Amino acid sequence: MSTEAIAQVAAGMSKIEVINIIGKPITTSVFNDERWDYIYSLNRSGGKPKSKRFTVFFKDDIVYRVENDGFELNSETNS
């Protein structure tokens, strides 16, 4: 999952469109299929662990909000 792909996910998209852009999340909640979390973590020996999270929230299978914690998006991909 690239930062360029993440930048394409926007409100109004369907679940299928999100899957086509960034793929299925590794896991989904049994209790809440209206929230998908994409998590990336890197643990190098001797280094500080790094993690990133991208969360997509749906209402009636349509994206209404996204949260990005750690995936750096440059201004060119956001415009």
Chain segment 28-70, per-residue pLDDT in tens: 777 778 899 888 876 777 777 777 888 999 999 999 999 888 7
66 near 55, Cβ under 8 Å?
Answer: yes
Per domain, the residue ranges of the chain are 3-72
Looking at residue 45, its pLDDT comes to 76
* Structure confidence at residue 48 (pLDDT): 75
pLDDT for 78: 41
Of residues 25 and 50, the one with the higher pLDDT is 25
**Strand segments (E) across the chain:** 35-42, 50-59, 62-69
Instruction: Report how far residue 59's alpha carbon sits from residue 14's, in angstroms, rounded to the nearest whole number.
Output: 10
pLDDT tens-digit map of 2-22? 778 888 999 999 999 999 999
CATH fold, domain 3-72, is Beta-lactamase Inhibitory Protein; Chain:B, domain 1 (3.30.1450)
